[in-house]
Amino acid sequence: MNGASVAPDVSSKASSSDDADKIKHHLCSRFLKKRPPDIYGQRHAIESSKCVGDSLRLLEKEITKLPDDLRAGLDQAAVFCPELLTKEHSIMFLRCEQFNVDLAAIRLAKYWNKRIELFEGAAFRPLSTEHRRDEDR
């Protein structure tokens, strides 16, 4: 097993059966098998298709739980450029947070808010040097 099972969030303590229903579940990076440390001392998770699939599914659920103001940029991106919100785009944020979907959802939402703040209308186009503004050419 690659540790792709869903684990209860140990930061939430349930005091009754009603509270038990409220416990968040996510893939916990401590249960994932990791590669040996790289030259920077970082240990990256060994990804399986089950781990990635479960993480993407849980990420979508976690995004819906975010406050509206935090999710605003991501919601705009879903309307104006859904083609940029690919599976690979989401996996970048999951990898960055070692498959902690709670943190990855927040990072993804903050990314889109900052991208819109910095690039305004151009934020909804692919960001590359090939798509420069006309006055920059």
Q: Which two tokens stand for residue 3?
A: 């540790």
For 17-59, the pLDDT digits (tens) are 444 333 344 555 556 777 788 888 887 777 888 889 999 999 9
What distance in Å separates the CA atoms of residue 128 and residue 130, rounded to the nearest whole number? 5
Average model confidence (pLDDT) for the chain?
79
What distance in Å separates the CA atoms of residue 21 and residue 26, rounded to the nearest whole number? 14
For 76-107, the pLDDT digits (tens) are 999 999 999 999 999 999 998 888 899 999 99
Burial of 58 (0-12, 13-18, 19+ CB in 10 A): buried
User: Cα angle vertex 53, ends 51, 55, to 5°?
Assistant: 65
- At 51 the pLDDT is 84
